[in-house]
C-alpha cells in the first residue's frame, strides 16, 4: 500500500530547496567549471556523493550487464547522477523517477547541459506506485533509496512489475 499523501508531501518538503538549480550551477562555476562545456565527470562531486561515488555506479552497471540495448528505470533518481553516468558510459536509455519534482527538473537541466537529454529523462513519481506500464524496462536501478522506504515489500513488488 503506498504511503499516505501527507507522508509524500512531507518528504518532498524535506528534500526541496529554494533554488537548487542556481545553487548547483553556482557551485560548479565556483569550482572553475565552464557551465557551457560541462561533462558527466564534472557533476560527480555533487550528484554522486553516495558511498564510493562514480566508481560504485560503474561497478554495479558492469555487474548488471548494461549496454546500449537496455532500457533502464532509475528509481529514486534524485538529481540524476547515476542515471547520467550509466547513460554516458554504456549508451543505455534511462528514465529516472523521483518523488521530488525539483530534483527531476534539476536532473533534466543537468542532462541537457552535458548533452545527454537524448538518452535520459526524468519524471516525478512515487516508487510505490510507478507511473509506467507492466514490463516497461529491461533493468530497474536504484542506489541508496530503498533504505528510505519503509515498505520494502511494496517497493520490490512495484519494481518487479515494471520489469520485462
Q: What percent of the chain has pLDDT over 70?
A: 87
Average pLDDT, rounded, for the chain: 88
Q: What is the pLDDT of residues 48-77, one digit of tens each?
A: 666 677 889 999 999 999 999 999 999 999
CA distances from 130 to 8, 78, 124, 158 (A): 14, 15, 10, 7
CATH number, position 126: 3.40.50.150
Contact between 71 and 93 under an 8 Å Cβ cutoff? The reply is yes
Q: Which domain holds residue 139?
A: 5-162
**Count of structural domains within the chain:** 1
Distance (Å, whole) CA 29 – CA 132: 36
More confident residue, 28 or 119: 119
Question: Which grid cell sits at 1?
Answer: 500500500
Q: Are 96 and 121 in contact (CB under 8 A)?
A: yes
Q: Which three cell numbers stand for residue 33?
A: 567549471
Read off the pLDDT of residues 99-115 as tens digits, 9 standing for 90 and up. Answer: 999 999 999 999 999 99
Angle at the Cα of 146 from the Cα atoms of 141 and 150, rounded to 5 degrees? 150
What sign for the dihedral angle of Cα 73, 67, 37, 53? Answer: positive
Residue 66 CA to residue 62 CA, distance in Å, equals 6
Amino acid at each position: 500500500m503506498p504511503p499516505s499523501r501527507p507522508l509524500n508531501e512531507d518528504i518532498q518538503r524535506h528534500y526541496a530547496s529554494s533554488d537548487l538549480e542556481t545553487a548547483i550551477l553556482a557551485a560548479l562555476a565556483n569550482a572553475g567549471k565552464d557551465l557551457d562545456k560541462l561533462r558527466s565527470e564534472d557533476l560527480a562531486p555533487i550528484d554522486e556523493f553516495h558511498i564510493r561515488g562514480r566508481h560504485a555506479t560503474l561497478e554495479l552497471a558492469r555487474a548488471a550487464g548494461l549496454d546500449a540495448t537496455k532500457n533502464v528505470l532509475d528509481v529514486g533518481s534524485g538529481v540524476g547522477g547515476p542515471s547520467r553516468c550509466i547513460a554516458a558510459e554504456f549508451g543505455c536509455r534511462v528514465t529516472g523517477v523521483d518523488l521530488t519534482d525539483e530534483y527531476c527538473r534539476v536532473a533534466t537541466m543537468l542532462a541537457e547541459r552535458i548533452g545527454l537529454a537524448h538518452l535520459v529523462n526524468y519524471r516525478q513519481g512515487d516508487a510505490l506506485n510507478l507511473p509506467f506500464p507492466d514490463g516497461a524496462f529491461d533493468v530497474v536501478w536504484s542506489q541508496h533509496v530503498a533504505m528510505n522506504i519503509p515498505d520494502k515489500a511494496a517497493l520490490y513488488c512495484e519494481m518487479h512489475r515494471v520489469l520485462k
